[in-house]
Amino acid sequence: MLVASMILSWVLVLSVWIRGPHVPANPHFYYGFLLFLSVALAIAQTYLQNATMAFCTRLDINGSIIGYMLLGQALNGVIGSVLNLLSSMAAATHMDANKAASTQAVQNQQAAYTVFIATALLQLATWYAFEHMLHVSHVKQAVESWTMSDAFAAHAQMSIWDTVWRVQRRLVPWSVSIFGLFATTLCVYPGITSRVRTVTETRWLNNEGIFVALHIVCFNVGDLLGRRMPIMYPITNVRRAYVAQICTTARFLFLPFFLWCRLDIYKTSPIPDTIFFLGVVALGLTTGWLSTSFLISGPQSVAKHDESTSTQNNGLDTEARQDQVLLHDETMHEASAAEHAGTQDAAMASMLCSFWLVAGLTAGAVSYTHLTLPTKA
């Protein structure tokens, strides 16, 4: 699937090169082609994200590996957004006032080139790193042990959908928090935030392309810093479901804040550019911090539930079989099986968290389209 995603990315780069900065001869066909590529890439990326999160969770239930995976995603966003900003600034230096429209088209093409090529190259590096990781001794041993675990045999008699529903019932509070977190983010970023315009008269910020690109950098930098917080400072990790829901609800305050900014070039706003950019950084920071916390703590809560259930069952069995000689061996076997089952359920929980993440992104994007925003006169 990663190879398919790389191929689609290079096809996208090629389509931008063939089209050039001008309007294509058949814009409807080209638009449909881009929609097809977008859907195909979305399917590939969603599949890869689900599989990667389950893989990382099974390697380390404590969340350190999945934390580094999320850090890699954030780094990808920072690199792409910085390259996009530099490309926009380079194009703006050659801007001709009499050819502003054509220059804007060239600027958009260069930005697309930069981001798409960088994404394709990063995917190639990811493929190489993943192939190398599979040959690391302890990773290879772990993968081989999964296929021989007692838990797999125990769950073989259970329908996959039964397992999904069983894990999802334990994951409901975290699913709601993840859904709300990303729905809020996509409701305001980049749909609303990209419509904000500067309130100061400076050469660079007056350029819409540069202003938008700069705010994307701010968001991605905040997201990167936020994703490191639960890993570097475990005390910041949100481990309680009710705390997660409170934090998610509080983030709805970002919506009126950004609606209060200057969304129309013909209107004024009391919010200066500095406060706007700090608000974007805060949006990215809370997105990165809470998403990492939720994606680690959610699967952990499922695994802990399995461990506590196993402990209770072992206690009942001990009382019923006090006189049996093999009690210790049987208890140890049950504990080992419960540990494997907990890891498997945690991996399933990671995939379900990823599903609710994508669902939240979709809901946020759809809700933005129904917002009544000011339009240019």
Q: 201 in a domain, yes or no? A: yes
Q: 305 in a domain, yes or no? A: yes
Q: 377 in a domain, yes or no? A: no
Surface-to-core class of residue 200, CB atoms within 10 Å of its CB (0-12 exposed, 13-18 middle, 19+ buried):
exposed
Closest CA to 307 of 350, 343, 347: 343
| H helices present in the chain, as ranges | 2-19, 27-59, 64-92, 100-133, 137-146, 150-155, 160-188, 203-206, 208-232, 241-250, 254-259, 273-320, 327-369
Q: 192 in a domain, yes or no? A: yes
For residue 88, what pLDDT is reported?
80
For residue 377, what pLDDT is reported?
43
The whole-angstrom separation of Cα 289 and Cα 238 is: 9
For residue 103, what pLDDT is reported?
59
Residue with token string 């290879």: 140
For residue 252, what pLDDT is reported?
94
Q: Which domain holds residue 195?
A: 2-149+160-369
The whole-angstrom separation of Cα 246 and Cα 236 is: 15
Q: 155 in a domain, yes or no? A: no
The whole-angstrom separation of Cα 173 and Cα 357 is: 13
Q: What percent of the chain has pLDDT over 70?
A: 79
Positions of the chain with pLDDT under 50: 97-98, 150-153, 310-311, 313, 315-339, 374-377
Q: Is residue 271 a contact partner of residue 262, using CB atoms and an 8 Å limit?
A: yes
Q: Give the pTM.
A: 0.80
Number of folded domains that form the chain: 1
Instruction: Give the number of residues written for the chain.
Output: 377
Q: What is the Cβ-side half-sphere exposure of residue 237, based on CA atoms within 13 angstroms?
A: 20
Residue pLDDT, tens place only, 167-180: 999 999 999 999 99
Q: 375 in a domain, yes or no? A: no
DSSP 30-74: HHHHHHHHHHHHHHHHHHHHHHHHHHHHHH-TTSHHHHHHHHHHH
Residue pLDDT, tens place only, 14-39: 887 777 667 777 888 888 888 898 88
Q: 350 in a domain, yes or no? A: yes
DSSP 183-247: HHHHHHTTTTGGG---SS--HHHHSHHHHHHHHHHHHHHHHHHHHHHHHH-GGGS---HHHHHHH
The whole-angstrom separation of Cα 239 and Cα 163 is: 24
For residue 330, what pLDDT is reported?
44
For residue 247, what pLDDT is reported?
96
The whole-angstrom separation of Cα 76 and Cα 220 is: 9
The whole-angstrom separation of Cα 210 and Cα 132 is: 39
Report how far apart, in Å, the C-alpha atoms of 316 and of each of 172, 313, 342 are: 28, 5, 20
Helix (H, G, I), strand (E, B) or coil at 300: helix
Q: 374 in a domain, yes or no? A: no
